[in-house]
Structure 1
Amino acid sequence: MKHKELIAKMTLEEKASLMSGKDFWQSQEIEHLGINSIFFADGPHGIRRQAVAADKLGLNLGNPATCFPTAATVANSWNAELGEKVGEYLGEEAIAQEVNVLLGPGVNMKRNPLCGRNFEYFSEDPYLAGKMAASYIRGIQSYGISACVKHFAVNNQEKRRMSIDAIVDERTLRELYLTAFEIAVKEGKTKAVMSSYNKLNGTYTNENMHIMQAILRGEWEYDGTVITDWGGSNDRVSGLLAGNELEMPTTAGETDQEIVQAIRDGKLEEVVLDECVDRLLELIFTTESAYKKPHAKFNVERHHRVSQKVAEESIVLLKNEGNILPLKYGKKVAVVGDFAKDARYQGAGSSLVNPTILDHTLDCFQESGIDSIGFEPGFERYGKRNTEKIQKACELAKQADVTLLYIGLDEVTEAEGLDRQSMKIPDNQIELLHALHEVNPNMIAILSCGSAVEMPWIHKVRGLVHGYLGGQAGARAILRVLSGDVNPSGKLAESYPFRYEDTPSYHHFPGEEASVEYREGLFIGYRYYDTAKVDVLFPFGFGLSYTTFAYAIIDVTENLVSFDLTNTGQVAGMEVAQLYVGCQSSHIFRPKKELKGFKKVFINAGETKRVTIPFDDKTFRYFNVKTNQWEVEEADYIIMVGASSADIRLQDSLYVKGTIAPLPYDKEKLPSYFSGMIKKVHVDEFEQLLGRNVPQSIWNRGKPLGYTDTIEQCQYAKGLFGRLLFRFVTFSYWTLKKIGKRSTANLIMMSIYYQPLRGMARMTGGIINMPMLDGIIMMINGRFFKGVGHVLSERRKMKKATTK
């Protein structure tokens, strides 16, 4: 232990006190030992240090900070160096706001396009997500503070995220859902990891010895701090045994007493607590040291310009029929769409940033050189039909050479705590698009949203520019692409299916009541579409440019692949060359191809560059469930280099000597997985893959409710109080949504409706303790008067204890 002498000076109670927060955003302090509080702030793409009520939980307005493009956006740049630059600027701003731990980046896989938090995550591919996350972490931590990679692990939906049990087979867990974390830990060297809310194969992740101890601490040799997601602690002692040091937010000392009592009762060895304290002290002292160096306020204008540069490199050109883009000089342009007036530039929830500057499209036209003849909103932002607005937009479009149509998803559709209901753009926007096409077919759509959407209307637009969520300077960045000042170089970090029904997890998202079964196994995103030969609208890695690139002369050795890349067009540009590998053996099921490397290269018109992409420890490996370790299958491998997962330009083969491990599967018992046709896997076959029976996925409606049951489940409560509580919450949600308070309504769903009952104690900062919660649960379960008496009695005890 690094701080053994200091820990020896602490009482048992002092050590236990460090294991939970001082309030909602700070760790505990022990002044007489020189141990200070450190501050945590949300910050995947900008610092959200709350300006008011900083000691309270909530989504209050943060201090002004640069709102960089979201992770889903920056992933489209495929530029790890750019990600590191974003991290550096985030680190600089964290220092300026005296933040010790920045809660990000998020690396959960985009298992399903409807996950409400996909805008905060990088990709459907773990290699790309891991490399981008590691670059962010290096940048953030270059300033001495800590990043906190999240949410560990298998948190791929928002619905029931605090109670859902993710049922995943071991190989899929390792290869898909843990690999990005592995890269973040080993290459990014993150100082902190945030555990997720959900259960994994029956156990809450922060208590899960398999992923927390055997894998994170054991295999990956992680010696940093693990922090619960806010309110994500279930059994405090079990969490501590698993190595989850810090519980956030505060529980006003209640769980500290649980730790002390567990040690006195022999349920927890004090040495385990000492080791947890030691790791937390290391986080406190190392991040405090960042403030010993002189630091000043950050340069707001400079950071804004960097945000613009990041957005420019992350914009994806998806369609350019007849080279309608870049816009020709002198073309008269009609600007239509509410998002042109008020930019859609970030998601909603804990990552909400209060921008220092905010560019809107209408304010940036003069400098862009684009000749705008006027603007019409065309549609109501939150989906209400408005015929008059459509008519006005059409009248304007008739007078223009080209219509720029700004469409997308609104702020409360993509939000933490809720999943999207469909992959569709709102009907009122599509109605506008059809009407505009009738009067002026020269239409360019500018799309603003943080995840994949269906586009059955795409044949009616000649150009399509996807800005994703480009941060505070995203609007200006898009205009620079439209005008040709910037040659677009972004490529999709996720696949775009034609229809939601085509997605591999369609039948198993968001799962039933108690659990979600990952029956698709390894086959998410392009891994499924390519293997099962399912056509998509836009494949993983796709993106157009204003120039063209040619690939030639591939050379494969046992350590790397190299090839020539030539800019065959008329303008300079950047190309993302992608390395995919496919195993030729049929003994172990695999996707047809998997991303194993990439490189973004700037090339002048007419220039040729030799590009090299090295192999690494992940290039040929697979996880063998019989040996319980990573193995390499001896086989021929196809080495593919391309412009997207569906556009392979060069390929060669390489024989790779394996580790000679026993075959892990009986091929006859897993026909769906060996064929890749996993849309309708029967439960029996899934259980063969799991190696065990799947748990019951429906709540047991007859049992009394307990700590881990949710407000949602109170609809089945035995007691009238419980059912009324459920109805009150649902009525409040319905009322707020009806009167237009959609953000507040979403907050109710996120922080109350899906909240386990234990959250009443874990998230109220000591206002309600666990004995009082016992009384509330009595009321819910039909013993109303006994429960009321218990609550009042425990409340008196708590008040008496605090006045001593």
Structure 2
Amino acid sequence: MAETAAGTAKDHQDAEADAAREAVVEAALGRLGLDAKARLLSGQNMWTLPALPEIGLRSLVMSDGPIGVRGVRWSADDPSVALPSPTALAAAWDPELARRAGVLLAQEARRKGVHVLLAPTVNLHRSPLGGRHFEAYSEDPLLTGAIGGGYVRGVQSGGVATTVKHFVANDAETDRFTVNNLVSERALRELYLAPFETIVETARPWGVMTAYNSVNGTTMSEHRRLVNEVLRGEWGFDGFNVSDWKAARDTRAAIEGGLDVAMPGPRTVYGEPLAAAVRAGEVAEAAVDAAVRNVLRLAARVGALEGAEPVVTEPPAAVDGRALAREVARRGFVLVRNEGALPLPGGHRVALVGAAARDARVLGGGSAVVFPAGIVSPLDGLTAALPEGSVTYALGADLAVELPVADKGFELRAVCRDAAGEVVATASAPSGHIQWMGDDLPEGATYDNLHSVELTGTFTPRESGPHTFGIKGLGAFTLTVDGTTYFDDVQRTAEDGPFVTFFGAPVARGRAELTAGAPVEVSLTHVVAIPEDVPVKGVRFTLAHQEPVRDGDELIAEAVEAARAADTAVVVVATTDRVESEGFDRADLGLPGRQDELVHAVAAANPNTVVVVNSGSPVELPWRDEVAAVLLSWFPGQEGGAALADVLTGAHEPGGRLPTTWGSLADAPVTQVRPENGELPYTEDVFIGYRAWEKEGRTPSYPFGHGLGYTDWTYESIEAEGTTVTVRVRNTGERTGREVVQVYLAPAEPGTERPAQVLAGFAGVEAAPGESVEAVVEIPRRAFEIWDTATDAWAFVKGSYEIRAGRSLTDRRLRTIIEA
């Protein structure tokens, strides 16, 4: 009773605080003229909205996420904590861990002066070929909603807004700006809208981002029914709605469709065009007022509106970013196979193999990229954790399907010059990647005086031999290495599209014979030419570099010899930026290069082979039955190598369970991600992920929910009282561990239109050896409902249901029947 009373009192206080903020918002709105209101709804640059001093409104600052807070500078000289990928966070099956990750990100946002984090991504894993798969959580809407809700609560507990994205059905990358996704109302409600609905209900996000794509004929930045009627009307969402960058196309359709803010600026369909549309009688000023009210409410909540007390006056206690990044990584690692190889016995000699073991891939490509101050690779982590001399390293296979960004061994700076060749500004350049967007130019440089940018400095090779240098970008470039000019011309591309300079491939332009340890001078000069009609001005280009390419057979032979001489071989296989990234979908699920061949060879040489899979989403594992253990590390963030050492040595157990089904492309039920004639029909309807695998009777490599630890569990009893399910489990192993108890709901008569079973809830429990604990799971009413297209409403389906409790979708330990 005391807890209920306390909760009621807090609700009353929150309501009073909301009312007070709303009064300030209304007063501020009443003091604004049409031009100011229209200007507020349009980005003033890449990341911010304009300040309105006349009402005490400061500029609102937005930043990309979701694994870190980049801030307004897309540069490695402004470092950010880099957490593991969203797939890794979801693999922990722990909303509380997601909340803690959100608290850290709020801390990072406040440090960088950011009010709005453009995250989380809660689109579903409709197909394993989705290129941005790693940035979303799961194929299951319940798990996605639970993890996303925890993330939102954590970020907003720090006084920073979230924008849940991309609303809705942005589940693939091909033609994402123009594709018309044809989705049934039932699939929308039961799958794609469901995580958004859960998060709005349980976490009250302060923002939503609408997607580029169309749904059933209407682009999402203009989708009045889904935004105004469903999101705001049915669900009661009271936050602001921002477009995806450059997604807003039509002034009247956008404002009437519920879009509050058009980004980025300064040239958008809002601002002056919106004010003109109101004066011409094409748009009602009341629609503008509604959007401005939402933006002012956002500002009040984050403390950017004078006179309004922010929702959070005292931020949460400080979080150790490195420690949390390490914890999230190891708790998201999924051990899908273990034939006694892990944890590593003490005193073992370990042969570490793989390009990604030395140069770790810790995050996915695209707008999710942040730049951590440091990265712990698997080689770093294991070398530090194991006795000196017990780890040997072999490359095994070269992953470079394209030239990577100049990084290791480079010491660079950027020099900005005017047309007369005079230096107007200089800036640090921690890597060969230059990206200055909007106003983010080095101090002293402007778009009026900037004529060229020279990326210059030294390169000290790690290896002797022919080093390849290249350029990513469009326009005039001059590339010089060690006194030789390898390119002095205009670089063009046959590709087209608004983000070709973001996602295009670098072009090799020269090869220099260099000696390990001997530094040489390098210079890449770019003549800046920015078209007048671009919505956002910017400078973006990259110096690329590849170390000497060695014979593939020789690399595999070296790895085999190292494995044969060791007690355990640990092979790290990985994808690359050209396999998994925003901007394009995947063509297949194979590992790039000769990595599969490498694993086959190492496993044949050493039966005690452990494979670590460094990918953000499913890949095919044709050798999985040949090796002693398979550990999925996802994109593990900046502390991934340290977390890997924790898990391999047994200091911590791998805590993850699969948030999505892993299998071969040949067996995958949903593979169509490329539109035809501009349309992509979701013909599978409500059957994606494990729902589809079961319907088609296909067996994946590893099922949804699967994951092993370092102890054993016995499921002892299950009880259902109403919709509350209690499962008792006992730790029958020899060490303390954590179990994720999963509860699935199976209708007695699903027919052909309902999944055979769905995830209805889960709970994590911890126990010492021999200890028995209870997991309590509350099954939501929605698990018993389907969307009835005849009545256009949710319908509760009565009848018998089997409740199945177990360790994964297919590893069911206990069951009971309930009548609904």
Shorter-chain TM-score range: 0.7 to 0.9
What aligned pairs does 1:452-491 form with structure 2 within 5 A after superposition? 452-491=618-657
Query: Aligned AA for 1:262?
Result: A
1:20 aligned to which of 34, 39, 42 = 42
1:516–1:293 CA distance, 2 compared to 1 (3 A): same
Partner of 1:505: 670
TM-aligned CA deviation for residue 509 of structure 1: 2.2
Partner SS state of residue 472, structure 1: coil
What aligned pairs does 1:776-787 form with structure 2 within 5 A after superposition? none
- Structure 2 portions without partners, runs of 5+: 1-21, 305-309, 402-548
Q: Is the Cα–Cα contact under 8 Å of residues 127 and 179 in structure 1 kept in the other structure?
A: yes
Q: Is the Cα–Cα contact under 8 Å of residues 50 and 63 in structure 1 kept in the other structure?
A: no
CA distance in 2, matches of 1:138, 1:257: 36
TM-aligned CA deviation for residue 588 of structure 1: 7.2
TM-aligned CA deviation for residue 343 of structure 1: 1.2
Query: Aligned AA for 2:701?
Result: L
1:513–1:461 CA distance, 2 compared to 1 (3 A): farther
Partner of 2:364: 347
CA distance in 2, matches of 1:264, 1:637: 59
TM-aligned CA deviation for residue 511 of structure 1: 2.6
2:377 aligned to which of 360, 376, 390 = 360
Query: Does the alignment pair 1:495 with 2:510?
Result: no
Partner of 2:591: 425
CA distance in 2, matches of 1:539, 1:591: 15
Residues 522-560 of structure 1: CA distance to partner in whole angstroms, max 9, x if unpaired?
111101112332111100000011111111221112131
Query: Does the alignment pair 1:97 with 2:91?
Result: no
Partner of 2:603: 437
Q: Is the Cα–Cα contact under 8 Å of residues 50 and 60 in structure 1 kept in the other structure?
A: no
What aligned pairs does 1:79-478 form with structure 2 within 5 A after superposition? 79-252=94-267, 255-288=270-303, 302-321=320-339, 323-369=340-386, 372-383=390-401, 386-478=552-644
1:488–1:373 CA distance, 2 compared to 1 (3 A): closer
- Structure 1 portions without partners, runs of 5+: 52-58, 657-804
What aligned pairs does 1:634-713 form with structure 2 within 5 A after superposition? 634-656=798-820
CA distance in 1, matches of 2:366, 2:191: 26
Partner of 1:667: none
CA distance in 2, matches of 1:644, 1:238: 46
Residues 132-175 of structure 1: CA distance to partner in whole angstroms, max 9, x if unpaired?
00100000000111011110000010111111010000000110
TM-aligned CA deviation for residue 271 of structure 1: 1.2
Greater mean alpha carbon deviation, residues 135-144 or residues 30-39: 30-39
Partner SS state of residue 471, structure 1: coil
1:38 aligned to which of 60, 76, 84 = 60
Query: Does the alignment pair 1:531 with 2:553?
Result: no
Q: Is the Cα–Cα contact under 8 Å of residues 563 and 605 in structure 2 kept in the other structure?
A: yes
1:80–1:298 CA distance, 2 compared to 1 (3 A): closer
Query: Aligned AA for 1:171?
Result: R
Partner SS state of residue 618, structure 1: helix
Partner SS state of residue 381, structure 2: helix
Which structure carries more strand by proportion? Answer: 2
1:409–1:330 CA distance, 2 compared to 1 (3 A): same
CA distance in 1, matches of 2:749, 2:562: 60
Q: Is the Cα–Cα contact under 8 Å of residues 62 and 353 in structure 1 kept in the other structure?
A: no
Query: Aligned AA for 1:362?
Result: L
Partner of 1:742: none
Residues 393-436 of structure 1: CA distance to partner in whole angstroms, max 9, x if unpaired?
12212211111101111233211111112100124111212222
CA distance in 1, matches of 2:138, 2:750: 27
TM-score (norm 2): 0.76
CA distance in 2, matches of 1:601, 1:296: 26
1:587–1:320 CA distance, 2 compared to 1 (3 A): closer
1:587–1:644 CA distance, 2 compared to 1 (3 A): closer
CA distance in 2, matches of 1:578, 1:416: 31
TM-aligned CA deviation for residue 81 of structure 1: 0.6
TM-aligned CA deviation for residue 357 of structure 1: 2.7
Which structure carries more helix by proportion? Answer: 1
Q: RMSD in angstroms over aligned alpha carbons? A: 1.9
Query: Does the alignment pair 1:617 with 2:781?
Result: yes
1:291–1:595 CA distance, 2 compared to 1 (3 A): closer
Q: Is the Cα–Cα contact under 8 Å of residues 324 and 462 in structure 1 kept in the other structure?
A: yes
TM-aligned CA deviation for residue 576 of structure 1: 0.6
1:76 aligned to which of 73, 88, 91 = 91
Residues 23-76 of structure 1: CA distance to partner in whole angstroms, max 9, x if unpaired?
11001222222222110001101011143xxxxxxx544621110111111100
CA distance in 1, matches of 2:324, 2:359: 21
Partner SS state of residue 619, structure 1: helix
Query: Aligned AA for 1:414?
Result: E
Residues 594-645 of structure 1: CA distance to partner in whole angstroms, max 9, x if unpaired?
0110111111111101221112232212111111111101111111111101
What aligned pairs does 1:512-551 form with structure 2 within 5 A after superposition? 512-551=676-715
Residues 752-800 of structure 1: CA distance to partner in whole angstroms, max 9, x if unpaired?
xxxxxxxxxxxxxxxxxxxxxxxxxxxxxxxxxxxxxxxxxxxxxxxxx
Residues 450-488 of structure 1: CA distance to partner in whole angstroms, max 9, x if unpaired?
001111121221111111111011111111111111112
Query: Aligned AA for 2:718?
Result: I
Residues 237-281 of structure 1: CA distance to partner in whole angstroms, max 9, x if unpaired?
211112110000014366323322322233321111111101101
Partner of 1:719: none
TM-aligned CA deviation for residue 298 of structure 1: 6.4
Residues 703-738 of structure 1: CA distance to partner in whole angstroms, max 9, x if unpaired?
xxxxxxxxxxxxxxxxxxxxxxxxxxxxxxxxxxxx
Count of aligned pairs between the two proteins:
644
* Structure number with higher relative contact order (C-alpha < 8 Å, ≥ 6 residues apart): 2
Query: Aligned AA for 2:168?
Result: A
Partner SS state of residue 196, structure 2: helix
Partner SS state of residue 812, structure 2: strand
1:560–1:248 CA distance, 2 compared to 1 (3 A): same
Partner SS state of residue 95, structure 1: helix
TM-score (norm 1): 0.78
1:373–1:138 CA distance, 2 compared to 1 (3 A): closer
Partner SS state of residue 75, structure 1: helix
Query: Aligned AA for 2:240?
Result: T
Partner SS state of residue 801, structure 2: strand
CA distance in 1, matches of 2:77, 2:101: 19
CA distance in 1, matches of 2:314, 2:819: 55
CA distance in 1, matches of 2:198, 2:374: 34
Q: Is the Cα–Cα contact under 8 Å of residues 361 and 476 in structure 1 kept in the other structure?
A: yes
CA distance in 2, matches of 1:238, 1:346: 37
CA distance in 2, matches of 1:618, 1:296: 33
Q: Is the Cα–Cα contact under 8 Å of residues 44 and 120 in structure 1 kept in the other structure?
A: yes
1:297–1:136 CA distance, 2 compared to 1 (3 A): closer
CA distance in 2, matches of 1:375, 1:390: 12
Greater mean alpha carbon deviation, residues 38-47 or residues 377-386: 377-386
Partner SS state of residue 187, structure 1: helix
Partner of 2:28: 6
TM-aligned CA deviation for residue 287 of structure 1: 1.1
